[in-house]
Amino acid sequence: MRVIAFFILALTSSAVFAGYDLHITRKAFWADEDGPTISISDWEKYIAQDPQITLDTKNTKNDFLVTLGTETFPIWFNPTLGELYTKNPSDDAIKKMIDVASRLGANAQGDDGELYPPAP
């Protein structure tokens, strides 16, 4: 019975498959339509000097891979919103995203607008 209930919930709820995104943005809220953006030129200049970030050649021109020791995670450039993001980041990935945001003059921000690092 529990298995049947799980499948019914899975079919009717997008939350079952949802993840948590961490964004790098210059906007007050990452999903705002207006506000300062990160241009592809800004991003290309940044990745030219960061050897930990490489183009993900198996995907689109906006898909990149970040390698931190033994961990590799994706980071995507969204030209429509002028932001970068990753999904379900580890603690090390969060630290890297904060560093990248700082170097781009931006903020690391969660799905609900919370800033990283959190205010004390």
Asked if the structure places residue 93 within a domain, the reply is yes
Q: Which domain holds residue 42?
A: 19-116
Q: What is the pTM of this model?
A: 0.83
Domain CATH code at residue 43: 3.30.310
77 found inside a domain: yes
Domain count across the chain: 1
Residue 68 forms part of a structural domain: yes
Q: For residue 13, is it within any domain?
A: no
Residue 97: inside a domain, yes or no? yes
In a domain, 2, yes or no: no
Altogether, the residues listed in the chain come to a count of 120
- In this structure, are residues 29 and 21 in contact, taking their beta carbons and an 8 Å threshold? no
How do residues 78-102 score in pLDDT, each as one tens digit? 999 999 999 999 999 999 999 999 9
Instruction: Classify residue 11: in a domain, yes or no.
Output: no
pLDDT digits (tens, 9 = 90+) for 2-27: 444 434 444 444 444 579 999 999 99
Distance CA 115, CA 120 (A): 11
